[in-house]
Amino acid sequence: MNPRADTSHRAVAAVDLGAIAANVRAVRARLRTGVFLCAVVKANAYGHGALPVGREALRAGADLLAVATVAEAELLREGGVGASILILGPLTPEELERANGCSAEVVVWSDAFARHVARTGGRVHVKLDTGMGRIGLRDPAAATRLVRFLANSGGVDLVGAMTHLATADQPGSSFAREQLARFKDWTDPLKEEEPGLLLHAANSAATLALPASRLDMVRVGIAIYGLDPFQNDPEDWGLAPALRLTSYVADIKACEPGDSVGYGQAFVARRSTRIATVPIGYADGVRRSLGGRGVVAIADQRHPIIGRVSMDMLAVDIGAAEVGLGDTVELIGPSVSVEEMAGRLDTINYEITCGLSQRVVRRYLETTSRR
């Protein structure tokens, strides 16, 4: 055994790989046969751990993985991932060389970058900006010229044509359909020149709620983790949250009216109560603004986070509940969903799990039945 393995319980993210696999299968079950499933494991798999999650997603039927940066692609290769890896973000010429060095596929989003690719070669996806306004060519005619240029460059493998939807997670919005129509106007004639091009546009929200967006491949991130792109209940889509964030009760003290807790005396007891100190804080990714706003669960019972969340600790008002030293404190899990925590913080579930820091120990479970 690794003598330096972290056996601490202070801040633990337990990731259920069985849930990851079940989510991959739940997404797969919605796809026509032959549609590729690209599991997006950028940002350390949204905080869940890129290598274990990426491997599990591939085992469960994902066809390839996507990341945002070249370092993320290298990490997967060093971990032994042999499947295709697509890097979604923009790259410098130096990063392009590294991408080729680990046989990752890259996105071509501008004429300048296409010229670099023509020099180095590589496997590429050409991106049209149909309304997201980030990377991608705006002008379909220019994008077609770029495809032709790359098709005539030795060493360049034209793999895909792609776009990205800005509003797929807003059920009432018609903009996603407009973007898809623009993409189709570009790719319909293009497919006649390059029939092998893999067309892709859908993120999780589009994959789930906009079947017409699935095309030849879907790029699914948040849903793989069992989180809801619409910020409601993932169960609505048959998804199972994979991550449980826990700490433990390190101290319990009685608090009399007038006693204060934490920085700035943000909490002052108005009645007699008991306060549990929990060794997890904003340096672990438990946001400071949860103070006075968040909840935790101890033995399935919910209690408010009071006072300020500090860097390494927070305080919970446990009242007269039967709570003992060492009891597990759940910050995210069956009793407190990521969506609930995100709602209390006025943000989205993505930001919550991506924000879990390196200091949080990741443990991997295989508890959910592997159907």
Ligand X SMILES: *Cc1c(COP(=O)(O)O)cnc(C)c1O
Of 169 and 330, the one with the shorter C-beta distance to ligand X is 169
Q: Which residue is nearest to ligand X (CB)?
A: 221
Three-class DSSP category at 13: strand
Give me the torsion for CA of 77, 79, 84, 88, rounded to 10°. Answer: -70
Find the length of the chain.
371
Alpha helices by DSSP H, listed for 259-369, are 338-344, 349-354
Q: How far is CA 265 from CA 141, 249, 259, in A?
A: 62, 21, 9
Token pair, residue 309, equals: 């969340």
Of 240 and 313, the one with the shorter C-beta distance to ligand X is 240
Of 217 and 313, the one with the shorter C-beta distance to ligand X is 217
Binding site for ligand X (CB under 6 A): 40, 42, 88, 164, 203-205, 219-222, 229
Min separation Cβ 297 and ligand X, Å: 26
DSSP code string of 134-191: SSSBS-HHHHHHHHHHHHTSTTEEEEEEE---SSTT-TT-SHHHHHHHHHHHHHHHHH
Burial level of 54, CB count in 10 A (0-12/13-18/19+)? buried
Of 225 and 267, the one with the shorter C-beta distance to ligand X is 225
Min separation Cβ 134 and ligand X, Å: 9
Per the CB < 8 A criterion, the answer to whether 325 and 364 are in contact is no
CA separation for the pair 139, 49 (Å, rounded): 37
Min separation Cβ 118 and ligand X, Å: 23
Per the CB < 8 A criterion, the answer to whether 145 and 157 are in contact is no
Min separation Cβ 43 and ligand X, Å: 8
Give one word for 319, left, alpha or beta, with left for phi > 0 and alpha for psi -120 to 50.
Answer: left
Min separation Cβ 110 and ligand X, Å: 16
Min separation Cβ 313 and ligand X, Å: 31
Amino acid letter for position 293: R
In the set 253, 263, 282, 350, the catalytic residue is 263
Of 60 and 249, the one with the shorter C-beta distance to ligand X is 60
184 is catalytic: no
Of 129 and 317, the one with the shorter C-beta distance to ligand X is 129
248 is catalytic: no
CA separation for the pair 87, 46 (Å, rounded): 15
In the set 42, 46, 225, 282, the catalytic residue is 42
**Residues with a known catalytic role:** 42, 263
